[in-house]
Amino acid sequence: MKALLILEVSRKQDYIFSSNRLKDNARRSQEIAYVTSPAYFIKKASELYSDEKNLVYSGGGHTVLQFETKESAKTFAERITEEAMRDFDGMELYAKICDYRESETPGKNLHMLTSSLEEKKALRKSAFRRSSLGVERLGVETKSPVRIGGEGSGDKKIPGGVEPPDGYEYPAEFEKVAGDDNFIAVVHIDGNSMGARVNGIYEKHKSPGDWEACRESLKQFSDGIQKDFENAFSYAAGKLAEQLSDELSGSSKKLLPIRPIIIAGDDVLYVTSGKYGLETARIFLEKLAETKNEVDGELYAACGGVAIVHTKYPFHRAYELSEELCSSAKRFGVSLRDDGSVSALDWHIEFGQLKDGLGVIREDYETDDGNRLELRPVAVVAPQGTKAPDERTYGYFRELSRIFANGSGAVARSKLKGMRTALKQGEVETEFYLKNTETKEVLGRTFDAKYISEESRFAEFAKALSGKGMDERVAFRRFSGEDKDRCVLFDALETSDHFELIGGDEK
């Protein structure tokens, strides 16, 4: 009887972030991709495995295989898990084997397989992991069979490894990523509704006899996701390289201040200079949104979380924050459209305080009069007809940031920073501050950011003059469906020291 085998690395975060070195984090992520890849299976068990006969699909830190019998699946699992334990100290590799039920649909069989694995993981028994013996020499780097592309290794790219743009190298230390201001951006991006898209493939192969066709579709779908998300990262890295080409042209070793850590299908983590975190995430999401998977023919949508932190900030905490921010962006996207088609972004700049989660952090963004300082999360890409307030889009934030970066008329930069304190105190104190410091003109910039073209600005001015429109030159606004006002200025003001446009000042 045919059997299905699933292999998955568990507790990936613990393994990847067990080191505080960026180079080690990237290498360990690639090790996870490698140990569940066909390349590793062929190297370690070529007499037991071939892509044509055994591979169902591989991606996202796990792999599904098929074997003619349960015994052959067990023999293969024993070989691979033993080899992985020898090669990758501290990695937890789970294996689960289930009989393939010919009377059930392909989708039902695969659901049963993944459910069985989750039950096994919940019990946390039979995890394949080699524990330290406590007698290793300190300070000696463990030799890994994985070499990292982009560091002069000369090895071909392995799964999970994305080469830097031509002529550039990835930095090996966080300090090299951060640059002069010592801030890095930890960016986590996750695809929307991928489970629903997989179920869509299952629905196309509902007959019990459709296994081979379903298997081929799943493999192509998974390969397409990996390729498309890698391409989106490469595109964003390329745009950053274009931005910095003049600045780095005189250097013999051109280090690009960005580095991928995880690209496991639609699960992406990378670090970049703090001031480029938001723009690289925006470019990544926009590139994805114009890319179709070749199997189901649908465009991608994804959400991102950007944690901007000092290089001394605990990296695992920054990663956890980026995950929370990504989840926050997903919830906002679903509030606009529940079909997963909105790509959204959330972010936070951490200035050193360690707090327990995003919920606690966001408590600081409540004004003294009970309103909200932040507009984020914001929509980056949304289908036509999505009813997102203009101010709660990345385009609005970007344009307002561009205007502030280029100066805001007679308003001094010091006064813009002083405005943050007034905004925190609420609407009344903000109005008093604007009048007292003669900075009310800055509110016109929110209007300029919302109505970018001259034609749209003129139309809104005409409405206001005729009494048919509202004067939008206010620091706080109430948006539909909410019970508190939100500040339309604060996000751009707060990020002013940690944000730089990529692609120039074009509107």
What share of the chain in percent tops pLDDT 70? 81
Radius of gyration over alpha carbons of the chain, in Å? 25
What are residue 494's phi and psi, to 5 degrees? -65, -35
What confidence category does residue 241 fall into, taking pLDDT thresholds of 50, 70 and 90? very high
Look up residue 152 and give its amino acid: G
* 319: phi then psi, degrees, rounded to nearest 5: -65, -45
257: cis peptide before it, omega within 30°?
A: no
**pLDDT given at position 470:** 43
Find the mean pLDDT for residues 474-488: 89
DSSP 185-238: EEEEEEESSHHHHHHHHHHHT-SGGGHHHHHHHHHHHHHHHHHHHHHHHHHHHH
pLDDT for residue 311: 92
pLDDT tens, residue by residue, 23-55: 888 888 889 889 999 999 999 999 999 999 999
- What tokens were used for 44? 């370690």
Record the pTM.
0.88
User: Could you give the CA distance from residue 357 to residue 162 in angstroms, rounded to a whole number?
Assistant: 31
pLDDT above 90 covers a percentage of the chain that reads: 57
CA 246 to each of CA 135, 176, 241, 455: distance values in angstroms, whole numbers, following the listed order: 50, 18, 9, 36
More confident residue, 423 or 464: 423
